[in-house]
Amino acid sequence: MSTAFKDMTGAPEFLAHALQLEQEAAVRFDELADMLEVHNNHKGVVELFRKMAHFSRLHLAEAKERAVGVDVPALKPWEFKWPGDEAPESGEITDAHYLMTPHHALKLALASETQGFDFYQGLADNSAHQDVRAMAREFADEEAEHVATLKEWLDRYPEPDSTWDEDMDPPVSVD
């Protein structure tokens, strides 16, 4: 993912990005929770991911509240100023595997939250607009808490051995 900084035109554009980012983060955490629940049943991590999805929805609600009375632009997918092709917290779901362990799922989640933090922190540090810097700083602080939580959880689940993805009875695809 590119880390090139792209400034916002002001608070309305920032809010458009925050709304999309937090919505996608909630969906991704639910997807990770679902994958673990269906394939590995690691209840503690599943509950953590449901909680993280809830926090993303709280951030989404906060962004929606700030957007009341603001003419937030309806951006087309190619108009978002993400550092890459997708919202920073949407994660690399292509790295998910049906046999992934809590360690792998936590690493995916940590990478997503770190990218979200970096996005907001980049705006907090570099935006030409004081209102964008202030809101981005608040959102970055919230993301920093999520990053710290995921790091704590990752310490509980060491990296599995190199044969973690061997399946003696792999799923069969019917063409």
Q: Work out the pLDDT band at 33, boundaries 50, 70, 90.
A: confident
59 in any annotated domain: yes
Range of the domain at 65: 11-156
Phi first, then psi, for residue 160 (nearest 5°) are: -75, 170
105 in any annotated domain: yes
pLDDT for residue 4 is more than 70: no
**134 vs 28, more confident:** 134
Average pLDDT over residues 22-38: 87
Average pLDDT over residues 121-147: 95
Average pLDDT over residues 52-78: 92
What pLDDT was estimated at residue 101?
A: 78
Q: How many domains does the chain have?
A: 1
Q: Work out the pLDDT band at 172, boundaries 50, 70, 90.
A: low
What one-character-per-residue DSSP string does 99-132 give? T--HHHHHHHHHHHHHHHHHHHHHHHHH-S-HHH
Average pLDDT over residues 26-33: 88
CATH number assigned to the domain comprising residue 47: 1.20.1260.10
Best mean pLDDT range from 41-50, 68-77, 84-93: 68-77
Instruction: With 0.85 as the threshold, say if the pTM is over it.
Output: no
78 in any annotated domain: yes
Angle between helices 11-39 and 43-67 (to 10 degrees): 160
pLDDT tens for residues 149-163?
999 999 998 887 765
Average pLDDT over residues 114-118: 94
82 in any annotated domain: yes
170 in any annotated domain: no
Q: Work out the pLDDT band at 173, boundaries 50, 70, 90.
A: low
C-alpha distances (whole Å) from 49 to each of 82, 107, 109, 129 are 24, 12, 8, 34
101 in any annotated domain: yes
d(CA 112, CA 160): 21
C-alpha distances (whole Å) from 52 to each of 60, 69, 150, 171 are 12, 28, 10, 30
